[in-house]
Structure 1
Amino acid sequence: MENPFSQPGITFGNAKTDGVERRGWFVGHFVNAANLRSTEILEVKWGIHAAGDSRSEWSVNQVATTLSILIKGRFRLQFPEQECLLAEEGDYVIWSAGVPHTWIAELASTVVTVRYPSLEGDSIEKAE
C-alpha cells in the first residue's frame, strides 16, 4: 500500500513493515511499487534476527557487493577464509561478488544489509 504522505521524488515508510514479504528486503528490483523503493541500483534489508537464528547453507552473489551493518546485538558472518564478528553498534563487513557466506545471530540482532547492484537471480546457494 502506497503511503499517503509520499510525494513524487520522496518515499516514506517503515523498513520492518515494507520488508515483510521478502524476509526484510525492502528496496530493490523486486519491489512492485511505483516509488523509489523499486530500483536496480541496490537492495536494502532490515534484518531482525532472534538469538540463534542462522543461515547454515552457503550463499553467494555472482555480481553484487554486500555491506552488512550491525544496529544492535551480536552477529557472526562466516566466509571460507575468514570469520567476522559484528559486536559493537556500527560494526560492518563488506564482501565482494563471488564470496560465499553463512551467518548466525549470537544475540537478538538487527542488521542493515545493502547489496549493489540489484539483479534478479544474482544470489544463489552454494555447496561448499
Structure 2
Amino acid sequence: MPANVLIGNAQTEGAQRRGWFVGGFITPLDDPRSTTALEVKWGVHAEGDRRVEWSAPADTATLSILVQGRFGLQFPDGEIVLAAQGDYALWLPGVAHTWCAEQDSVVVSVRWHPQQA
C-alpha cells in the first residue's frame, strides 16, 4: 500500500449513513474521510425508490452524477432526468429538491460550502 493512500468501498462504508462516506460526520476525527470541506455519497437506488420530502440544504451546493440507471430530480420549478452515464445536475444552497429512481440507479453526490463573494 502506498504511503498516505486510503482505500475502501464507498457502498460498504456509507451503508450506515444513507450512502454518505466522506464528511464531517465521520469519526474518529483523524480519519482522512472526516472533513468539513465536503461530503460524498454513493447512492444505490432500486427502481421506484423516492424521497418524497423536499430537502433544501441552506449552506451547501450539491452535485449529483449518474453512474448507471435513470434518475429523476424534481425542483420547485421543474424536473430533470439523469439518463446517460455521466449526466449530472448541480444546484446551489437553499434549492429544494426531491428525487425518484426511474430505473435501478447508482448516483454519486457531492456537497460543499461554496465560496462567499
TM-score (norm: length of structure 2): 0.91
User: Residues 33-72 of structure 1 correspond to what in structure 2 (within 5 A)?
Assistant: 33=28, 34-72=30-68
Q: Which runs of 5+ in 1 are unaligned?
A: 118-128
Q: What residue in structure 2 maps to residue 97 of structure 1? A: 93
Secondary structure of the equivalent of 1:68?
Answer: strand
- Name the Cα RMSD after superposition: 1.2
Q: In 2, distance between residues paired with 1:6 and 1:93?
A: 34
Q: In 2, distance between residues paired with 1:20 and 1:105?
A: 18
Aligned residues: 112
User: Residues 1-128 of structure 1 correspond to what in structure 2 (within 5 A)?
Assistant: 7=3, 9-33=4-28, 34-117=30-113
Deviations 1:39-65 (A, max 9, x none): 000000000000000001100110100
TM-score (norm: length of structure 1): 0.84
Aligned partner letter, 1:12: I
Identity %: 54
Once superposed, which parts of structure 1, at least 4 consecutive aligned residues long, lie more than 4 Å away?
none
Q: What residue in structure 2 maps to residue 123 of structure 1? A: none
Q: Which runs of 5+ in 2 are unaligned?
A: none
